[in-house]
Amino acid sequence: MTNQDILVVLPEIVIALMACFILVLDLYLPATKKKKFGYGLSLVTLMVGAGLSIVYSEPAPVYGLNGLVLMDSLSAILKVGICISTGFVLVYSRGYADARGLWKGEFFALALFGVVGMMVMTASNHLLSLYVGLELLALCLYTMVALRIDSTAASEAAMKYFVLGALASGILLYGMSLLYGLTGTLYINELSASIVRHDGSTLPRTMALILVLVGLLFKIGAVPFHMWVPDVYEGSPTSSTVYLATAPKLAGFAIILRLLADGLGSLATEWQGMLLVVSIISLALGNIIAIAQSNIKRMLAYSAIAHVGFFLLGILTGEVSGYASAMAYILIYAVVTLGAFGVILALSSKGVEADLIEDYSGLNQSHPWAAFIMLLLMFSLAGIPPTIGFYAKLSVLQAVVNAGMTWVAVVAVVLSVIGAFYYLRIVKVMYFDDLATSHPGLQFRPKQDARILLTINGLAVVVLMPWIGKLTTLCEGAIEVLF
Amino acid sequence: MKVIYLLVPLACLVAAIIAGFWGAKIGNSATHRITITGVGLSFVLSVVVLFDVLDGHSFNGSIYTWGTSGGVSFEVGFLIDHLSAVMMAVVTFVSLMVHIYTIGYMRDDPGYTRFFCYIALFTFAMLMLVMANNFLQLFFGWEAVGLVSYLLIGFWFKRESAVAANLKAFLVNRVGDLGFILGIAAVMYLFGTLDYSAVFSAASEKQNAVVTGVLGYEWSWITLICLLLFVGAMGKSAQVPLHVWLPDSMEGPTPISALIHAATMVTAGIFLVARMSPLFELSTTASSVILVIGGLTALSMALVGLVQNDIKRVVAYSTLSQLGYMTVALGASAYSVAIFHLATHAFFKALLFLAAGSVIIALHHEQDMRRMGGLRRYMPITYITSVIGSLALAGIPPFSGFFSKDAIIEAVHHSNIPGAGLAYAAVLMGVVVTAFYSFRLIFMVFHGEPRMDKQARSHLKESPWVVTVPLVLLAIPSLLSGGFLVESVLGGHFLGDAVAQGPSAGEGDHLTAVGLMTHGFLAAPLWLALGGVFLAWIFYVRVPSLPGNVSQRLSLIYRILHRKYGFDQFYQWLFASGGVRLGEWLWKRADIALIDGFAVNGTANMVGWFSRVLKRLQTGYVYHYAFVMIIGVVVFLSWGLWS
């Protein structure tokens, strides 16, 4: 083990150690200090993790641990994104989780272990390390969904997630094993070349490809492997929903890019057609079913399905600009979704989940600032200019059109317009409906730190607009070195 | 000189802006002082420009580049030559007279400052129109005068009839303007520029360019452009069948009837064709159309004038008829003659309108001639000036109308393009009718027994000086301008080379005004005119019972004339009610049923329905979820293995 081996995975090591430390510390600290220490230490850990990812980043891939993991600007950017968004999650969740007795050592440890899993996913160059990262994250997520033991909905959601996740993992592993059988290697960077070298029947090759693809699509929740998404989003405590709705999407992007675009890049013509079907039915189903939802968390779940469909459009172009636009899309999506769940969390209080759309009627009258932040975020999710959500959609569509698939862009735009309905309905409910009287009104009482972050997060979707071109440049730079 | 050119329209614009925005603040008298100063300055400078042009100076250049797009620049520029200088002088002179007159006419009107703002604005727009050196600016002026005309017809916007009239004027002018802008577009397409001089110099080489229209029929581009431009001219200069708005425009205050709907704006169409004469010269087809339309207008509208009882409507129909005369002159390629008649007509028609207005205020807004009579004793100045105006209109020497109308008749006589014979007959017959209705008006209003009620008669007195001074000032050119200008017109020097010269130009070089008058006694038009006057005298002074008898005998003709040939009813039926019916149909069938019901709400309902159906797929049973996944895997596998 050389120095370089350690440097490549240094952020992961630090966070994993700190997660253990926090877990142990939780046993020995007095009850009053537990929360404060755990919270503070977790935030510091995440910041250190992000900092280390930046400090030791290399533009060109640097391999470590016998090539199991690598470090390049793609993994650096995504690791930073994962750490920061998890930090936001912790800040936003504090009030909510505290009121429900979830704010304890397990939460921090699970969140941090999940971060380690995601970081390994982004950095893996080997099917095994990729799978280990994936499962580490998945186990943390199953547990976090079930964290609220007094809630049957949460237990049910966790159970479903676990069963289906296990099924998907099995499919993925089967595909990986076929790949190994075909190529004799587990290294992702060698996969592409050796799979072409293999001649003979294409049957095992195609099977391997499809099974791996299905496993990946399950993880990011694309149709028809999306069935878990709405139930899990709705059933889990919102503090867990916000966690699994944001950072894992970044990690999911990373494994799709590494395994599909890079490792199986030579089979691009085969997976492009399937991704096309998947992304269009994801867009259609996600956007259309979201309209019928009355629960905002469930609505955002379908919205997530639709957004996954959109970002897959960028992937299926098979070009650097398409990958870069998808990356920018998913980063922007993470920022906006964080804010949206942040508002939901900030409006929840003890006994009030704030998860029904009708709860939001007349919010502008009682809490104009919260309503305004929500308005910006909804506009951004719908892709209305001048928000960054518009830019995200625009760059993906641009890539799709440049790849010569104009009709796909047209379909995507039409479906996005249908999707705009349910985002705008939230705005309409907040601004034009009368204040709800039948049930307890929402209280906007986030902690001070959450309030500040939420304001920054909400305004960022508009304020960042002039510099958003830099994000694309960054993403393009990160992806160019891969190809 | 450039500064002077610029000052001419800008003086009016500044006055209009001050009157419009601060009129209420600075008060009535300050408002009319400012606008009269502005327009007066314009007039003086226009005269300076006119003399400068007569000295042989002309100007054609752009003042300001408004925008450049695709290699075409849109400019504000002036073309100052004989034609525009004459127009500027006429416009500003009549405008100035009307400004002064308005002080008396509108004295107690609550919209006093608004009115001054509008007429100053109108003067600005009209000047921009006549001074333009490109089609774009022409169009700007064209639309701007149309706008002000619309505002002024509906000046008393609380009167339902005024609102209906201005709407009508607006809509009918839209029809003309559509042709006009299509014509400009065609010019743009064919020549690639909107500059007059560039277009005119390139015109002859494009003479043979053809465009294949519907049914494979080939049109000459030039003819197409000329006809489209003439459609615009027909709208603004109220030629049959787009004339219906002008009589109704009399709903506006009398001063603007004089300024806009007699002397200046309605002659914009005449000006347009004269300005475009190098194009029109290239198209005999267009000239024939113009001749026929002009002839029809001249005679048919004069006939309608015979049966009108509203004093302003008589003058309005006479305006229509005279515009027809000018159009005939244009069709006969006698462009300078048309402008000559335009100028003399501007003076005597403004005079007649203002005189009618003077009568109207003296009788407290009574306009029906059947309740007038014998006014000459009470209003001598109005009477004398009206007689001068009517003599000019009827074409009796030595009044100005004689010369210009005679020149038109001569020009048509010499023209031999198709339609010339018809137009010649029409204008000759028109002379009798014109003389008849002009003197019918004089005799009904000023002679005979007073027919107004006692109270009105007791208040009768001559109008104040602000009213009578413009009458006198307009009577002078009505009397003199014809004889003064006729020699240069017939000699072909009147407009210099500003307009294309017709084939007969220059023939009358040896003629003098006096010679023309003596020659007039040997020609038909003068005797026809005198006959008309005599007939009017018999009908309305000598045997006052005659008109009733005649109208009973010829009741069919009378009814046709009284109904103005049914244009209004036809348009009302076809376009107004038809438009409403069509709109209603489209609204109910296309908009509500098809677009709203089927397309918009239908899509929304369908998506909503679809959404509810798809929602059911999410059963909540984990084995269903797993089943869907497996199905997905199977589908993908079979797809992948198949292909």
Question: In this structure, how many other beta carbons lie within 10 angstroms of the beta carbon of residue B313?
Answer: 20
User: CA B518, CA B614: separation in Å to the nearest integer?
Assistant: 99
In A, residues 132-191, which contact B (CB 8 Å cutoff)? 159-160, 163-164, 167-168, 171
Q: Please name which of A99, A76, A100, A80 lies closest in space to residue A88, comparing C-alpha atoms.
A: A80
SS3 state at A148: coil
Q: How high is the pLDDT of residue A438?
A: 55
B224-265: pLDDT as tens digits:
899 999 999 999 998 888 888 888 888 888 888 888 888 888
Q: Which of A220, A288, A293, A421 is the mutation pick for testing B, counting most B CBs within 10 A?
A: A288
Residue in A with minimal Cα distance to B600: A418
Q: How distant is the Cα of A77 from the closest Cα of chain B, in angstroms?
A: 32
Residue in B with minimal Cα distance to A415: B607
pTM: 0.65
Q: Is the pLDDT of residue B71 over 90?
A: no
Residues in B closer than 8 angstroms to A224, CB to CB, are 628-629, 631-632
Return all residues near A431 (Cβ < 8 A) that are at least 6 apart.
A364, A371, A375
In A, residues 190-229, which contact B (CB 8 Å cutoff)? 203, 206-207, 209-211, 213-214, 218, 224-225, 227-228
B515-552: pLDDT as tens digits:
777 777 777 788 888 888 888 888 888 888 888 888 88
Q: Is the pLDDT of residue B37 over 90?
A: yes
Q: How confident is the model at residue A439 (pLDDT cuts 50, 70, 90)?
A: low
User: CA B611, CA A425: separation in Å to the nearest integer?
Assistant: 15
Q: How confident is the model at residue B1 (pLDDT cuts 50, 70, 90)?
A: confident
B544-572: pLDDT as tens digits:
888 888 888 888 888 888 888 888 888 88
Count contacts between A and B (CB, < 8 Å). 74
Confirm or reject contact between B620 and chain A (CB < 8 A): yes
Q: Does the structure's ipTM exceed the value 0.90? A: no
In A, residues 379-418, which contact B (CB 8 Å cutoff)? 418
Q: How distant is the Cα of A221 from the closest Cα of chain B, in angstroms?
A: 11
Cα B431 from chain centroid (whole Å) = 22
Residues in A closer than 8 angstroms to B632, CB to CB, are 214, 224-225
Strands B59-69 and B72-80 come out as antiparallel
Q: Please name which of A266, A270, A220 lies closest in space to residue A244, comparing C-alpha atoms.
A: A220
Q: Is the pLDDT of residue A228 over 60?
A: yes
Mean predicted confidence (pLDDT) in A292-300? 93
**C-beta of residue A41 within 8 angstroms of C-beta of residue A22:** yes
A235-283: pLDDT as tens digits:
999 999 999 999 999 999 999 999 988 888 888 888 999 999 999 999 9
User: CA B117, CA B120: separation in Å to the nearest integer?
Assistant: 5
Is there a contact between A206 and B641 if contact means CB atoms under 8 Å apart?
yes
Q: How confident is the model at residue B482 (pLDDT cuts 50, 70, 90)?
A: confident
What is the 8-class DSSP label of residue A62? E
Mean predicted confidence (pLDDT) in A95-108? 89
Mean predicted confidence (pLDDT) in B149-155? 89
Q: How high is the pLDDT of residue A461?
A: 93
Answer positive or negative: Cα dihedral of A392, A395, A396, A398: positive
Is there a contact between A274 and B629 if contact means CB atoms under 8 Å apart?
no
Mean predicted lDDT score pLDDT of chain B: 87
Is there a contact between B618 and A270 if contact means CB atoms under 8 Å apart?
no
Residues in B closer than 8 angstroms to A225, CB to CB, are 628-629, 632
Confirm or reject contact between B641 and chain A (CB < 8 A): yes
Backbone dihedral angles phi then psi of residue B237, each to the nearest 5 degrees: -95, 15
A155-191: pLDDT as tens digits:
999 999 999 999 999 999 999 999 998 888 999 988 8
Q: How high is the pLDDT of residue B458?
A: 79
Q: Please name which of A351, A349, A137, A357 lies closest in space to residue A249, comparing C-alpha atoms.
A: A137
Per-residue tokens: B370: 């059947």
Q: How high is the pLDDT of residue A440?
A: 62
**A369 residue type, one letter:** W
Q: In chain A, pLDDT over 70 holds for what percent of residues?
A: 98
Mean predicted confidence (pLDDT) in B198-217? 80
Q: How distant is the Cα of B32 from the closest Cα of chain A, in angstroms?
A: 51
- Is the peptide bond preceding residue A386 cis, with omega within 30 degrees of 0? yes
B348-358: pLDDT as tens digits:
999 998 999 89
Is there a contact between A210 and B628 if contact means CB atoms under 8 Å apart?
no
SS3 state at B332: coil
- Quick one: CA torsion of B604, B606, B608, B609, rounded to 10 degrees? 160
Per-residue tokens: B146: 């149309």
Is there a contact between A171 and B633 if contact means CB atoms under 8 Å apart?
yes
Q: How high is the pLDDT of residue A437?
A: 64
A451-481: pLDDT as tens digits:
999 999 999 999 998 898 899 899 998 888 8
Q: How many residues does chain B have?
A: 643
From the list B611, B620, B631, the residue facing A289 with the nearest CB is B611
**C-beta of residue A115 within 8 angstroms of C-beta of residue A86:** yes
Q: Is the pLDDT of residue B505 over 70?
A: no
Residues in B closer than 8 angstroms to A210, CB to CB, are 633, 636-637, 640
From the list A227, A231, A293, the residue facing B628 with the nearest CB is A227
Q: Is the pLDDT of residue A419 over 80?
A: yes
Confirm or reject contact between B628 and chain A (CB < 8 A): yes
Is there a contact between A291 and B607 if contact means CB atoms under 8 Å apart?
yes
Per-residue tokens: B77: 């520029």
Confirm or reject contact between A292 and chain B (CB < 8 A): yes
Q: How distant is the Cα of B613 from the closest Cα of chain A, in angstroms?
A: 9
User: CA B351, CA B101: separation in Å to the nearest integer?
Assistant: 11
Q: How high is the pLDDT of residue B506?
A: 46
Q: Of the given ranges (A360-374, A415-429, B247-261, B266-280), which has the lowest mean pLDDT? A: B247-261
Q: How distant is the Cα of B600 from the closest Cα of chain A, in angstroms?
A: 12
Beta bridge partners of B77: B62
User: CA A127, CA A263: separation in Å to the nearest integer?
Assistant: 10
Q: How confident is the model at residue B333 (pLDDT cuts 50, 70, 90)?
A: confident
A103-138: pLDDT as tens digits:
888 899 999 999 999 999 999 999 999 999 999 999
Q: Please name which of B359, B378, B361, B379 lies closest in space to residue B369, comparing C-alpha atoms.
A: B359
Is there a contact between A274 and B640 if contact means CB atoms under 8 Å apart?
yes
In B, residues 594-613, which contact A (CB 8 Å cutoff)? 604, 607-608, 610-612
Mean predicted lDDT score pLDDT of chain A: 91
